[in-house]
Amino acid sequence: MLALLGSDGRMAPASSTCGAVYLLSWVILPLLFFSIAKGKLPTYILPCFAPLALLMAHYAHSGSAQLVRVFKVNGWINLLFGAITTLVLLVVVAPWGLAHKPVYTHDEILPLICGALAFAGWGIMGWFSLKPGACRWQLAALCPLTLALLIGFAIPQKVRDSNSRRVLYGLCIIELAESRYLLADNPGIAAAVAWETERSDITFYDAKGELQYGLSYPDAKTRYVDGAAFADWLREHRRRQPAKCP
């Protein structure tokens, strides 16, 4: 990647087109590969962001006549986004807000403040990016910074609980632990159940996901139950002991 840059930090003119094509291929090919494999997990496509950032920097330093207009529009979009989301947090979803069921409770003032600061920082950086100067695009790139730093503190407890499988499993952990057979239709759910129950005999139901290759081995075929054959499987195994589906 450093070979594509000149001594002044700009793309070398001789390799500008070739470098841009290389970076674009770097972005597209992993996305295309994992799209075909149906496995676009965030950690899989994370390497695509490095060449994407270099492409954006290359365009910002290209000296195009349209850059001034593009950066101005981008600045206004960031400013309006930050202002509107901050207003929504403080006026709509706050405990005193207009929402019928506010997202934040009266005990979550600090997370609400963190959320407001995160989006306000986004809008402020968008406003700074509207100022004349050569580093305008760099300021626009800093818009998500406060959101990235504060989003972990701004998530309300209601949202944490609704997206936490551990809370759900905690409510029925006794029933799951007492069952002889456990079935799951998602590898993530299966991993969480195995962790909570300290068991490794989870059977997959109707969906193999990214475990399709491993479940195709002869010694693992008993760990998968097809949806069409589930009625027969349940009828047979009910005679031995009840099965639970988390």
For residue 74, give the H/E element and its range. helix 67-91
Higher pLDDT pick, 4 / 214: 214
**φ/ψ (deg, to 5) at 142:** -85, 0
Q: Which of 62-76, 92-106, 167-181, 182-196 has the highest mean pLDDT?
A: 92-106
Higher pLDDT, 125 or 39: 125
What distance in Å separates the CA atoms of residue 82 and residue 128, rounded to the nearest whole number? 13
pLDDT value at residue 114: 92
Beta strands 243-244 and 224-225: pairing type?
A: unpaired
Token pair in block for residue 236: 């047979």
Tokens of 75: 């600045």
CA nearest to 225, candidates 240, 244, 200, 206: 206
Q: pLDDT, tens digit, for every residue of 40-71? A: 677 888 888 888 888 887 777 776 667 778 88
Residue 225's SS3 state is strand
239/127: higher pLDDT: 127
Mean pLDDT, rounded, of the chain: 79
- Residue 199 pLDDT level (bands cut at 50, 70, 90): confident
pTM for the predicted model, two decimal places: 0.58
Task: Name the phi and psi angles at 183, rounded to 5.
Answer: -120, 140
Q: Is pLDDT of 139 > 90?
A: no
In 92-182, where does DSSP find H-type helix?
Answer: 109-128, 136-141, 145-154, 157-162, 165-171, 173-178
pLDDT digits (tens, 9 = 90+) for 25-44: 888 888 888 888 776 677 88
Q: Where are the domains of the chain?
A: 1-62, 65-156, 166-244
Token pair 């002889």: residue: 180
- pLDDT higher than 70, residue 215: yes
